[in-house]
Amino acid sequence: MSKRITHCAKYTAAASVLKAWLLLIAVLPALFSSCTRTTQLKETSQRGYTADKAMVVSAHPDATRIGVEILRKGGNAFDAAIATQFALAVAFPAAGNIGGGGFLVYRQADGSIGTLDYREMAPAAATEKMYQDAQGNVIEDLSLSGHLASGVPGSVAGMFETHQKFGSLPWAELVQPSIELARNGVVLTEKEAAGLNSNRERFIKYNKHLPYLTNENNWKAGDKLKHKDLARTLERIRDNGRDGFYKGETADLIVKEMQRGNGIISHQDLENYTAAWRQPITGKYKDYKVISMGPPSSGGVALLQLLTMVEPYNLSKYGWQSPETIQLMVEAERRAYADRAAYLGDPDFVKVPVEQLLDEDYLKDRMKSVDLARATASNEIKEGSLPVYESEQTTHLSIVDAAGNAVSVTTTLNGSYGSKVVVEGAGFLLNNEMDDFSVKPGSPNMYGLVGGKANAIAPGKRMLSSMTPTIVEKDGKLFMVVGTPGGSTIITSVYQAILNVIEHNMTMQQAVAAPRFHHQWLPDEIQHEPKAITPEVRAILQNRGYKLQERGTYGRVDAILVLPNGKLEGGADPRGDDKAAGY
């Protein structure tokens, strides 16, 4: 924080000389306030949990514990990622899953990098207008809740594929701890008990049987939730690998569940599901190399667009929470999300102009219309004209093993507890990821995101995501592993976590805990956590034409920072029950 402290000292001195004047001027009180705030941050947020060699940061203490046990047994970061994901499917059913999908980004100790796409796919019977009525109106809730909301799950295929390529311990050893957790039961935290209780009516509405997630007397912290059916499903996965999910009894139970509702996932859809290794999106921010997820996630492209657009400006000099830093970041966000809506989709179906979207001159040009005296209006911004070349509830986990391999995984059911449908007899929730498609051009999804043709529904297509599992290198060495849930806010949360460390000298824990703001082009407003924008800066921004919308807390950024002495610092988001541990 030293740079920030210097600024603070300067402003504090100026403030004492001109105290009477300053009270009359709008801008300086804001700077003064931003200094006070930074000092408070330093005092209240210390460095996060540190470990010498290896670390897991995830959304649940049981999942983190299981991941660390695998690392201690000699498993590598990939083994730990697989075991942690299965454990999250048991301990954190709001988002951890085997009925959803996700993305994995890795960087091995030798510097080699790659990504795995195990995003859900639209079933073969899906159609472009399946969520519209005869008049072309979007049918409320159809893409969000119930059997028709689910894409073909990808998580088990993703984990199995990861193991085939990189696993070092036997598959069964990675699944077994979760079977035991499911059978012995998970002790509910206050947040989980509240999450389950608040979804009680929906669980009952969308399930023909009384799902195990409901409790007549309401759940409370300390209760034990046992997952007997899920334990049996996990045993089939342990014994038969991917076939334990996509074929045989589990597949039969999924298809039966579909038939109980209005679902369309068939045996053929399950058998045909494949995870895909894809080229990572890479780019530079100053001395740092950023490695992130490409389409069908919009995360990597948008993150690199954002970083490239603000790189020419001296954000650290403007200071964290200053109006200028917020404005520049927001103006970049407005422009990146306009591009996202127009150009991004599943690369197996549409041509995504990645290179052009990341072109430095193009991005410089996009920022030319920024005027710090006034907000750009979103209706003045459309997607950019790309240069012509010759020749689109979640949970995140970050892992580094003792050899220096790093894995960054974000996985999701989409909404909290997905479609709310529990596969009867198999004990797991199905996703409601179909809502991430553009169900009608220009019609906002549950995160307010709009899209068009590039993200229209088609059989076998993957819906555009915002998930942004990311790894950052500095000077050719591992620097940071980072990611978060949060729907459309994922990209901007990862963006802020990275800039908080690089530009504002925060520790990893501070960067993760710091309050966040977000702009996604449409709606044209800066959404922000209560403490992200001070009252003084709020007044300045409003005066410059920005609309501000305070919202509750969002995201759960889980990250690892490699410290100059080689130790690892975990950033476990205090907004959840997230936990960093290692050795």
Point out the residues that are catalytic.
394
466 in a labelled binding site: yes
User: What radius of gyration, in Å, describes the C-alpha atoms of the chain?
Assistant: 23
Q: Minimum Å distance from CB 438 to ligand DON?
A: 13
- The residues facing 528 across adjacent strands are 517, 550
460 in a labelled binding site: no
> Alpha helix (H) ranges present in 241-322?
243-246, 248-260, 267-272, 299-310, 315-318
223 in a labelled binding site: no
Q: Minimum Å distance from CB 484 to ligand DON?
A: 8
561 in a labelled binding site: no
- Comparing C-alpha atoms, which of 535, 519, 514 is closest to residue 48? 514
Q: Minimum Å distance from CB 92 to ligand DON?
A: 12
Residue closer to ligand DON (CB basis): 414 or 505 = 414
Report the 10 Å Cβ neighbour count for 387: 13
Binding site for ligand DON (CB under 6 A): 393-394, 412, 414, 433, 436, 465-467, 485-487, 490
The rounded distance, in Å, linking the Cα atoms of 202 and 209 is: 12
Whether residue 280 contacts residue 292, with contact meaning beta carbons closer than 8 Å, is answered with yes
Residue closer to ligand DON (CB basis): 203 or 437 = 437
Report the 10 Å Cβ neighbour count for 54: 25
- Comparing C-alpha atoms, which of 462, 439, 454, 460 is closest to residue 133? 439
> Alpha helix (H) ranges present in 73-121?
77-91
Phi/psi of residue 106, each to 5°? -130, 155
Residue closer to ligand DON (CB basis): 280 or 415 = 415
Whether residue 189 contacts residue 577, with contact meaning beta carbons closer than 8 Å, is answered with yes
- The residues facing 561 across adjacent strands are 480, 569
Whether residue 174 contacts residue 83, with contact meaning beta carbons closer than 8 Å, is answered with yes
Residue closer to ligand DON (CB basis): 80 or 490 = 490
Residue closer to ligand DON (CB basis): 529 or 536 = 529
538 in a labelled binding site: no
Q: Minimum Å distance from CB 113 to ligand DON?
A: 21
487 in a labelled binding site: yes
250 in a labelled binding site: no
- Angle, CA of 254, 255 and 258, to the nearest 5°: 90
Q: Minimum Å distance from CB 412 to ligand DON?
A: 5
Cβ neighbours for 511, distance < 8 A, ≥ 6 positions apart: 496, 497, 498, 500, 501, 504, 557, 559, 571
- Angle, CA of 335, 337 and 342, to the nearest 5°: 100
Q: Minimum Å distance from CB 312 to ligand DON?
A: 29
468 in a labelled binding site: no
Residue closer to ligand DON (CB basis): 325 or 455 = 455
Annotated binding site for L-glutamate: 119, 412-414, 436, 465-466, 487
Annotated binding site: 119, 412-414, 436, 465-466, 487
